[in-house]
Amino acid sequence: MNPCFFRLRPALLSTALAFAAALPALSLAEPAATRLVPDKSQIVFVTKQMGVPVEGAFKKFDAQVAFDPRKPEGGSVALQIDTASAGFGIPMSDAELPKAPWFDATHFPQASFQSNGIKALGDGRFEMTGKLTLKGTAKPVTVPVSIATTGGYAVATGSFTIQRLDFKVGDGEWTDTSMVGNDVQVKFKFTLAGFGPL
């Protein structure tokens, strides 16, 4: 037998042992954390002013997602929204939204959502329950969510309706719902990186 083999054998053995020792660490490694991709995500709100639908958006928000779509009941979603970032794209209206009758961003700089239950409905559809906190008032909400994968990302979309007066948004003279409707539809698209397979 080639004497070189006997000289190489200890090196090969040590390499094999090192690889074997690394296997448990590789198999137990945590999957990549799910994170929001802000520039591919949006939160839109639609209300009616004198019966005419008007669409606005929150420009700054963040989310923490711990969610395995194969075991959704163990997941959680937390969302924080910068209330001062709300706008319709109309300078006069946008200047009013952070003020006290509306979002009162000075005293309530963030709105938030915290899930407390997620249920699979099949075909990439889920039902999420949780607490929405806006302007210091917390209310339970149920949010339908559809998730699809595209371009290496997961995209979660959905919509639900709240009543703005439940949260004192549009206080004082603006409680007149003939001027500004009480129903507000919230629509969202969250693009997520590092999401597990559906």
Q: Report the pLDDT averaged over residues 57-64.
A: 97
Model confidence at 28: pLDDT above 70: no
| Residue 15: CA count within 13 A, CB half-sphere | 5
Neighbours of 164 (CB within 10 A): 22
Number of domains making up the chain: 1
Q: What percent of the chain has pLDDT over 70?
A: 84
Q: What is the pLDDT of residues 172-196, one digit of tens each?
A: 999 999 999 999 999 999 999 998 7
Model confidence at 13: pLDDT above 90: no
Domain range for 138: 32-193
Would 20 be classed as within a structural domain?
Answer: no
Q: Which residues pair with 48 in a beta bridge?
A: 53
Would 6 be classed as within a structural domain?
Answer: no
Would 121 be classed as within a structural domain?
Answer: yes
Q: What is the pLDDT of residues 130-168, one digit of tens each?
A: 999 999 999 999 999 999 999 899 999 999 999 999 999
Neighbours of 193 (CB within 10 A): 14
CATH of the domain at 168: 2.40.128.110
Would 27 be classed as within a structural domain?
Answer: no
List helix spans (H) across 29-123: 91-96
Would 53 be classed as within a structural domain?
Answer: yes
Separation CA 33–CA 177 (nearest Å): 43
Confidence (pLDDT) at 83: 98
Q: What is the pTM of this model?
A: 0.81
Q: Quick one: tokens of 16?
A: 């094999």
Question: Which amino acid appears at position 9 of this protein?
Answer: R
Separation CA 125–CA 163 (nearest Å): 25
Of residues 19 and 139, more confidence is placed in: 139
Would 173 be classed as within a structural domain?
Answer: yes
Q: Report the pLDDT averaged over residues 91-107.
A: 97
Q: Quick one: tokens of 160?
A: 């639900």
Confidence (pLDDT) at 70: 87
Would 42 be classed as within a structural domain?
Answer: yes
Confidence (pLDDT) at 20: 40
Would 116 be classed as within a structural domain?
Answer: yes
Our measurement of the distance from residue 33's CA atom to the centroid of its chain's CA atoms, rounded to an integer in Å, reads 14
